[in-house]
Amino acid sequence: MKTKTEQKQEIVKSRVGGFGGSDAKMFYKVGLNGLSALSDTDKRRIAVALGQAEYVEIPATAAMEAGNEFEQSLISKFSPENGWENNYKIKNDWISPKNFDVFAHADFYNNENDIVIEAKYTSSSLEQTENDYMAQLQWYYMLGVEQVYLVKGYPGSDFDKFNERFIIRDENFIDILLHGIKIIDEFCDTFIYTEKDEWTEGDLLPHEQRAVQLMYNYLEQIKVMEAEVDKHKQMLFEVMDKNGVKSIKSDKYVLTIVPESVRSTFDKKKLLKEHPEINEADYLKTSKVKPYLKIILK
């Protein structure tokens, strides 16, 4: 039996030269809507498969780590002793595009009964999870598997509390996947990838889109709260100033009125005008600034 590290290395290696179940949604949307459905993230994924771009591994999030732990917890149930193999590679030679391989790494596979178990650890309902991952689930049927089951755990619950659901084979869904494979295979005949330095939100992966939306929500809340703070700050200033109070103290805060003062600033423009012999560049100090993310709310 392969170690978890060996399994991961095999999956990463397979991304160059082919597409697995995690790519199924891309093929489905192209099969449904044509090449216009491809995002720049999709095009980069195609470039990786064709060897035109380097694969960059996605840093594991807390949710991804929890999902991996949930999958590992199922090994006692779907064990090698019971005929199951973890992260088993499934390939069907009759689906043979010119430009890439098509396969899947099943979370658990029973060779004797030709059964796949796909494990998911999501906060959404069983029905919603099935709908969200339907392309990946039908991908197994497309590769010729006889039976596919979804095993779903719930964050916040013990790993041994999960639901199982048999996934019904959907011929129409499979036809759309196959059509998407045909379209992308033909697209690869002439596809040449060039990196793009500006993306739209649609180019982000789903978990990245959720992270951006969460960040935006927080910043919007901060913006609203800062406006409220300024309003109450002005009200308290007027109360204290009217009553001649210099400070208000409590166990949680100290409010202090800073008296009127004169601020001195250096007038560089005037200096350079009166002394044109001064070369400003001779007095500039440079230092390296680390790259950072600038955020502009619209």
Distance set, CA 49 to CA 12, 184, 266 (Å) = 11, 12, 58
Tens of pLDDT, residues 237-283: 999 999 999 999 999 999 999 998 998 988 989 998 999 999 988 88
Q: Report the C-alpha gap between 167 and 148 in whole angstroms.
A: 6
The DSSP bridge partners found for residue 140 are: none
pLDDT at 93: 86
Distance set, CA 250 to CA 190, 234, 255, 256 (Å) = 71, 19, 9, 12
6: left (phi over 0), alpha (psi -120 to 50) or beta: alpha
Answer yes or no: pTM beyond 0.85: no
Mean pLDDT, range 80-88, rounded to an integer: 93
**Does residue 2 surpass a pLDDT of 60?**
no
Triad 273, 278, 280: Cα angle to 5°: 95
**Does residue 15 surpass a pLDDT of 70?**
no
Neighbour-count burial for 205-241, b at 16+ CB within 10 Å, e otherwise: eeeeeeeeeeeeeeeeeeeeeeeeeeeeeeeeeeebe
What 3-state DSSP class applies to 163?
Answer: strand
Q: Which two tokens stand for residue 217?
A: 């929500």
Give residue limits of the domains in the chain: 8-203, 204-259
8-203 is classed CATH 3.10.129.10: no
Tens of pLDDT, residues 175-207: 999 999 999 999 999 999 988 777 777 777 777
Mean pLDDT of the chain: 89
Please state the length of the chain: 298
